[in-house]
Each structure stands twice: as structure tokens, then as C-alpha cells.
Chains A and B, each alone.
Chain A
């Protein structure tokens, strides 16, 4: 019966047994817009590499622009990979195996995309190895560089068995054997991945928390790390499952299939919600400490940071209450009761909240004046920056679509079909 249903697909031999996929022509047709974006983005990246970063609108003040913001955001959203692996392999939450493969693919896309953009973002990409050869161990960026490259390797190794289990590739005995061997070391990889992720998610927060020159971003430390180190870990761990929930839902809507059971959604929502409640609490404590202790000790008034339009006090309110507390309560208390649509909407808000937080840390930090005779500045990214940004999005959509079509991302898909 499946054979008949898949008649329209020319690439039937590559599609996993027991699942239905849309006709090949339609699949290509849906990918065309993304391929166009990919091509434009590639041209923009080529321009930036060939002509230099003068193609962007970054300047000496906005040394970090929309790309660093993008990196921080997608690395936070890609945290689902490590966190799901951690939950499945270390804490033995077997239910989440249903989204584990998908989470790995998402993580792989996010990290490879981030590294790709970073390589365009630095002025001398060919010197990238300097950080590995002459590392400054005091720099948060060194920690980030080491951890994200190592973690990308881990993710690639985690991705490999999923690819090798493709129906066609499986016919090669060596691939099957390799897939089996790789599968056995998964718990180890999950452990390593968790360790690496903890450090680089934290270091990305530390990146800004250590900026003693920018009181807006500077946070006092716990041990050797500023508090943003811990806040970034928790917020990424909270956003990760939300993003998995969101992408699973989108995949399920686009393919018009049920991919996971509702209780997986509910579990993801509960995990995300409970972590987010903790995060909102800690973030509030941190913000209050910063406003009432850190900033006054530097002879400034905390409110002074929020007087500069368009980044007024609303941004703090939006970040903590609207996109923090509200969705966290929805996810936490609504996970068993609310319909999936509500959970998805809340997940969108969680992701927005995390992205907003990363925006505040990068863009708002740099826009605020530090000296009294200094100016408040904003910056508009150039088309090349936006195109490179969208390149990563298109790249992600294409990789995910291909993986969804040819690999078995959702093991529950077949049983869902029967029910």
C-alpha cells in the first residue's frame, strides 16, 4: 500500500520504508524559494570575503553586528541537541527519543551555520587557526571557539549514523557496520556534548558579562564567571526544547503528518517551561542585583541605560515578562491541558524572548554611550549582512527538509500513521 502511495516520488528508493513523502516534484518546487535565497546569500558571502567587511554596515563602534547576534541566537536555539541528548542518554528519558534525531539535525544546522557566519565575520578568516595555536586562555572567545568547533565535530559524529541509516546507504555493509559502531558510543558523545555545550553556552554569555568597559553588559562574577555565564546556559537549555517543539510542529504541518505523540509535545513543553521559570527567576534576581549594586558602584544610575530611544525600558519588560514569565507559565502549567497550538505559540514566544535577550546583549550594549561626551548610536545592517543571515536560515531549511525526506528523523512517525 505504501508503494502505491509513494508512486509519485521518483526518489522512492531513498525514502525510508514505511513512511510517505510528498511527490519529488512538489518537494523541489517548495525548495525553490529557499534555493534562491541560498544563492543570493552565497553571493553576499562571496562579496564579503572577496572585498572585505566594508561590504557590511558594521563600523568601529558596532564592531559586532547582526551576525554576532545571529550566532548567539542560533547557538541558543540549537541547544536542544545537547539537552535532548542529555535527557535521553544521561537521564534516561526514553520518551524523548522520538525527537532526538531531529534535535541532532537542528543542532548540526545551528552550529555549522554559526561557524560559517563567524568565518565570514572575522576580518582574516585564514587566520582562524591562530586561536588554536596561540590561545589566550583568559578570553571567553577562546573558550567559545574551542567548544563550538569540538561540539560541531561531536554533532557531525552524531549526525553520521542518522545519515548512514538511509535506506539506500544501508545497503553498503561497511556503512551499516559503522553506523552500528557509532551508535554504541552515542551515550559518550551525549556526555561530551553536554559538557562542551555547558561551557560554550556559558562562555557566550560570559563574552558580554566580562566587558568591564560596558557597565550595561558587565555582571559581577560567581567564581570566575560573570552571572551571564550561568544565565546563558539556563536560557539556552530552556529555549532548546521549545525550538525542538516548534520545529517538530512545523515539520508536521508542512508534511501533514503526525510525527510524535502529543505527550512528547507536552513533555518538551514541561521541560522548557520549568527551566524557563527558573531562568526568569534568576534573570530577575540578576537584573535587580545589577541595577541596585553593580551599576551604582560604578557611579551610574541603572535607569540611565533605558532612556535611549528606541531601546527604552520596554525592552527589559518584554524580555523578562512578556517573552519570559508569560510563556513559561503557559508551558509549565498548560502542558497537560492546553492544546498543542497554545504550546506552539508559547514556544514561539520563548524563542523570541531568548533571541531578544541575545539582541540586547549584543546590539544594545554597543549602542549605548560609555563616555559622557559620547553618542548613542544605532546601525542598520547592509543587504549583504541580511543576505548572509538569511543564507543560514535557507541552509537550515534545506538541510532539514532533505533530512526529513530521506532520513528517519521521527521514529514514531510509522506508529502514528497506524493509529
Chain B
């Protein structure tokens, strides 16, 4: 019975949802953002303009852009679906993703802004030897961006089958290519300024869309959250309300949850595309205001998704969601359709695409900047590259990364690569955060400690994931038919994060060369007071 109703639901959904309407709403978003990007690009002259938007955004603007950069399709569609299916355990993601921002606010944002120029490596190499440290920092930046980018592109392919009713591989590949080409255009023309505006517009649409749906769901339940939970429990069973449905099954799954939570909480403040956003504001005070705005926007958004997730559980039901094309990810679009028919579904679909587009644009500019600024200008040209060639190199890199993302996104279609987002967070937490904290707060930290920590954290996270159930040996593994897994957790953070910290400490205490204490003192003053920090360009 339930399988039958699920099947009819799927058919009904793809035939009633109007692909032409969805595409035209998304086309409208693309047209508006392209105009904004073109206008924003007129002032892109220097490297500081292209990489850091001339450091001219205000705290509230940058905070909104951070929310736009951070709230990926995974956190909108994924969390709504996770709450609709797994109830209280789905909410745990929201908590982790939000609480993590305290690390960024209290320890990282302001000091990063004062110390660095364009990239994470600027901070790490401030008082350490340039080449080895920049090379290591660029390696993890590119790795994190690549994993995250691939997950987003794969998500774009999956989203079309759900929202546009395109199931053929060729149709999905075309959509991935369109997303990739649009991303290249935005980043190439608009630089950081254009990318930031795309993220601001997208954050506004996403939060407004979620807000409208939240109000509708609450209206249906008399603005009583307890009544909504009751309706969800009536349809999906009491287990939806009780914690432990997903992670409470065994000791291993509990440990896996702790490992995931560690990666989320320590990874956010080490995500290179988030760190780079701190350079787009004129002062450390504005960087602080950005994080405050981001925390409020992200927190309120996750409260909306809590209502939407339980709303989907109450109004649609678990079986119907799992049977729809796109599975778990279809909870929010199905709910939109249930509430107000094809128009709201079209709006929410367009917002989901806009979300992917804005996130991949942010990732691409971060990866390209890291390559041009850290690898090309500092390592290959040894700091003697003319400023104009650096901007030229960054543009070429954008195209190369874009093509890689399109090809990769098409190749991974139909494979289960959802673990890549968790891997990106794990690498950011194990390789980036330890070195950032050490170089900002530990004067004894040496040039040997940084690469040890970075390569150790990066390598161990990837190594453990490769031998975990997400890659082989599980029912939903990426590789089917062979089983070479021996690491039982799907999240490597609980091992790789401590390892990253320990290796950074070990590399430092075993190295005999000491770093120049005068530069350490200068860095301390600069990071805490902003004396000598990069200033905003005036136009």
C-alpha cells in the first residue's frame, strides 16, 4: 500500500511540478545577478579589488554573504529532509553548523582580517618561511574546495532529476555544464565583488523563501509548535520526536556522531572560502560584525528548517518523501508544492539552484586565488610576479577549475558522494584550524610544525575516508561489489583532528631552528590591534 501510494506520489509530483515555470524563475535569478555582477565588475582593477572586493563591504553585507556562502543546498534540502526522516537527529546537524560559528567569532575572524591579505596562507606564512608553508596551505585549500565543489556539482545533477523531471543522464550533464559555465562567468567577470553580490541576493531569497514556508506550516498548526510535532508523530511515529533514531543505534554510530560533530564545529572556522570572506571588509571590527550577522541569519534559518522538516513529516510523510525522485532531498520541494502548488515549488527550486550557484562561485574564487596568490606568485615567481600577471593567472585558473568541476560533476553523477561535504569539513578541521590557531596564538610555533600539521591532517582524513564504509563495504557505499574497509566510522574527524594538532606541536618542539621573535611580536601587535593591516582601497 505504502509503496503504491509512494509511486503515485512520485508520478504526480514530476508531472504536476512545472519545469518551464521552474526554469523561467531560475532564469530570472540568473538575469538579475548577471546585471549586478556586470555593474560590480567596473571597479575590478587591482589584485585587492579582484580577490577581496577592495575590502569595501560592510559588516552586515559581508555577514549576509557569509550566510549565502555557508548555507549550501545540503543545509537547506539536506537538513529539511534529515529532520523529516530522522526527526530530532536531523536537527543535530543544524546545531553543529551553528555552534561552530562561535569558534570563528571568538578565535579566528578578527585576527585573520588584521594579519592576512587575501588567503589563509598569508596568516600562516606571516612569520614562518614563505614557500613550504604557502605550498602546504594551498594544498589543503585546493583539496577542501575541490571536495566541496564536487559535492555541490553532483548535487546540481541530482536536483534536476528532482525539480525538472529530467532523469536521463544527458539532461543532467547539460544542467551540470550550465551551472559550471554560469559560475565561471560570474567569477571571471565579477571577481570577489560580483561573487559577494550573488551570495547576498541568494541568501536573501533563501531565507525569505524558508520564512514564507515556515509561516504557512505554522498557520496550518495554529502557530503551535507542539501541535506540529504531534501531527508529525501521528503520521511518522513517536520515534521522530525522540533523539537517537539515526545515531543512537549502536556504540559505533554514537562514536561516528561525535566524530561528525567535531568536524563540523572545528571545520567551519577553517573553511577557506569562509576565511577569505573576512578580507572583504575594511577593518577587524567589521569582520566581527560580519560574523555576528552571519550567526543570527544562519541560526534563524536553521530554526525555520526545523519547522519545515517536521512540517514535511506531518504534511507529506516519510514514505512519500523517500519514494519521490531525489529521496531525502525532496522533502522541502514537496512541502512547497503541498502548501501552494507549482508556483511556490518553482520559487523553491529556483532558490535551490541559486544556492548551488552561489556556493560553487565562492569555492571557485577561493581556490583560484589560493593558486594564483600562494602557488604562482609566491612559490613559482618567489614574490616577484608583476601584480597584473597575478590577476591574469587567477582568471585562467578560474576557467581551469570550472572545467574540472563540470567534468568531475558529470563523472560522479549517480554515485553517492554526499560524504564529500563531511570530508571537506574534516580536512578543514584537521589541517587548517590547528595551523591557524597555532600561528595566531603560539609564538613558539615553527616552520616545521605547519606542514606537519597540514599534511598530517589532510592525509589522515583522506586515508581514513578511503577505508571507511562510505567508500566500500556498506549498503550505500560509493564503490559497490568490493569491500576494503577496516575503519568503521564514516567521519574521520575524531582521529584526524587530534592528529593534526599533535603533529603541529610535535613538528615544532622537535625543530631546532627558532623563528624570528621580532616578527612574532609584530604579528601579535598587528593581529590584535590592526596596526599595519591591509587597508580598504578607495573608490
Task: Answer yes or no: do A and B interact.
Answer: no
